Amino acid sequence: MFQTNPMSRRSFVALTAVGALAAGLAGCAPRTTPTDKADETISCDVLVIGSGASGTTAAAEAALSGADTVLLEKHGGSGLAASSSLAIGTLYGAGTKLQEAAGIEDTPDGLLEYFMTRGGDKLDPDMQQFCAEHFGETIDWLSEELGVPFKEKVSKKGSDTVPRGHNIDDRDEVALEIMNKRAQEAGVRFVFNTAAESLIVGPDGKIEGVMAARPSGKRVQIDAKRTIIATGGFCRNVEMINEYCPDYQGVYTEVGEGCTGEGLQMGLDIGAAYIGHGGTNGILACPVEAGQSKLIDKKAMWIDSSGKRFVNEDGQTHDIYYTVSHFPDQIFYAVYDQAMVDALDEHLANCFEMGLERGYFSQGDTVAAAAEDLGLDGAAVEAQLTAYNAMAAAGSDSEFNKKQENLVALTEGPFYVLSMGVCTHGSFGGYHVNTDFQVLDEQGEIIENLYAVGEVSCGTFIYDDYPAGGCGLNYAYTSGRWAGKNAAQAVLA
């Protein structure tokens, strides 16, 4: 029999908030100014800052287009602190060879229509069209030309009715490694352990490179004809999340360690426009296992802190993430019975036990007792479970239309209540760019010689609502690919 420790809802939030706070403070690097004296100077045609999917792709394409290219990374190796290295590896796109092979009829026009229904209508239509047109092409390019292995199955994502989720076999790390090799072979010069701190602005207002710093304190000046910022999102910067995405204050994050926001701040400091509508990308989170824990089981009954079911448990994760994120306590609960616990594999059983020991999960002879142990209204949870079990017996979820295969009566005591939360996987705000990925200022004018790609500019494409799993990564590869070529062509013209 498991031992339980009562834990309040507040302590889950406090725990996650403390984690985010610590991570954010760690990312608040001091800023230099362009007038700082440099200990070392590096010169290049194209400077790319950040070695995630967008930056590595931009650097490879710039170098392959003939530009002398430097890739700057503040951490000790390529992609080490990037969200791209953690990504599951879904890329969203339409009209691909993989769809064709799977017998799925689809076109970029269909994708554009979908983007428009998912918030794209509130944003620049040119960027929606650009992404709809090029996302499928990027997937074909990765799979056919670069040899990135994809699974045959294309899956449905978001609220879309057409399968457009292309899944790298096994994770994005595989694609990133291939891209990294491509950049090395193209002659990109990698400069690690060097953090960009401020943009160098010439007397004519054009960007001339960056000032950067090494951990030793040494100042490095990088003179570049074009600069591409690919520094990822800002989920690990508490101040920026509070300012730009206030609905997600205190939400625990699983993004790369490097996503601390200073790559965005240095552009805002020189007059770049910010675009964003407060949204984030995220998943449901289990307090005892990072990632998409299988303890967040669709066969359980999910309730909010009033004890009521609030969602179809087998609905789209992103939609449920948004719902839970907007709960005042950002918590939901999964109700298990003993039969569900008995079916856990060894790994999940260990996680489950840890959850009980740490007080995130509770146990009771009745579901009411288990619920009360976590501070919930036992009678309300009991009534909800009775109604749920009646629907399971009837084979139909008249409340939320859960699939019958996941609608299983929970009748075998003891009962368990598991507290669950949410977790960010990215931020949807940043540089406002045009479809050449040039950075715009507050007046909508181009800031000469400056580009921004990947998550640091994805607010131009994604409104506050994530259109579908796979859009973040594809935006990173697509924007990197185009910006790398554009910047090189501009230098070599």
Ligand X SMILES: Cc1cc2nc3c(=O)[nH]c(=O)nc-3n(C[C@H](O)[C@H](O)[C@H](O)COP(=O)(O)OP(=O)(O)OC[C@H]3O[C@@H](n4cnc5c(N)ncnc54)[C@H](O)[C@@H]3O)c2cc1C
In whole angstroms, the minimum distance from the beta carbon of 119 to ligand X comes to 16
d(CA 191, CA 290): 31
Q: Which is nearer to ligand X, 265 or 362 (CB)?
A: 265
Nearer to ligand X by C-beta: 264 or 447? 264
Q: How far is the CB of 54 from ligand X (least distance, A)?
A: 3
Are β-strands 446-452 and 438-440 bridged in parallel, bridged antiparallel, or unpaired? antiparallel
Q: How far from chain centre, in Å, is Cα 362?
A: 31
Q: Is the dihedral of CA 305, 306, 311, 313 positive or negative?
A: positive
Q: Which is nearer to ligand X, 307 or 459 (CB)?
A: 459
CB-hemisphere CA count at 13 Å for 121? 5
Q: For 406, which DSSP code?
A: G
Give the pairing of strands 438-440 and 332-337: unpaired
Residue 276's nearest CA partner among 131, 134, 455 is 455
DSSP letters spanning 298-360 = TTSEEE-TTS-B-S-TTS-HHHHHHHHHTSTT--EEEEEEHHHHHT--HHHHHHHHHHHHTTS
Closest approach of ligand X to the CB of residue 286, in Å = 14
Least separation, in Å, of the C-beta of 41 and ligand X? 17
Considering beta carbons, is residue 4 or 78 the nearer one to ligand X? 78
DSSP designation for 289: B
Residues of the shown chain interacting with ligand X in the complex, contacts defined by CB under 6 A? 49-55, 72-75, 79, 81-84, 86-90, 195-196, 230-232, 254-256, 258-259, 262-263, 281, 425-426, 454-455, 469-473, 476
Q: Name which of 95 and 430 has its Cβ closer to ligand X.
A: 430
Smallest distance, ligand X to C-beta of residue 76, A: 10
- The nearer residue to ligand X, 355 or 430, going by C-beta atoms, is 430
CB of residue 47 to ligand X, shortest distance in Å: 10
Question: How many angstroms separate the CA atoms of 280 and 290, rounded?
Answer: 18
Question: CA-CA distance, 6 to 335, in Å (whole number)?
Answer: 16
Is the Cβ of residue 135 or residue 388 nearer to ligand X in the bound state? Answer: 135
CB of 333 closer than 8 Å to CB of 419: yes
Residues linked to residue 452 through DSSP beta bridges, in sequence order: 229
| Cross-strand pairs, 219 | 213
Residues 6+ apart with CB under 8 A from 154: 96, 98, 99, 102, 104, 163, 164, 165, 166, 167
| Closest C-alpha among 347, 286, 351, 281 to residue 316 | 281
Minimum CB distance to ligand X, residue 7 (Å): 25
CB of 95 to ligand X, least distance (A): 18
Shortest reach from residue 164's CB to ligand X, in Å: 12
Q: Least distance to ligand X from the beta carbon of 129, Å?
A: 19
CB nearer to ligand X: give 91 or 417: 91
How far apart are alpha carbons 263 and 455 in whole angstroms? Answer: 11
Give whichever of 84 and 96 is closer to ligand X, judged by the CB atom.
Answer: 84
| Closest to ligand X by CB, 261 or 364 | 261
CB closer to ligand X out of 73 and 372: 73
Q: What minimum distance in Å lies between the beta carbon of 275 and ligand X?
A: 15
Q: Which is nearer to ligand X, 72 or 410 (CB)?
A: 72
- Prior bond to 6 cis, omega within 30? no
For 15, what's the count of Cα atoms within 13 Å in the CB-facing half-sphere? 19
DSSP track, 111-150: HHHHHHHTTGGGS-HHHHHHHHHHHHHHHHIIIIIS---E
Q: How far is the CB of 277 from ligand X (least distance, A)?
A: 16
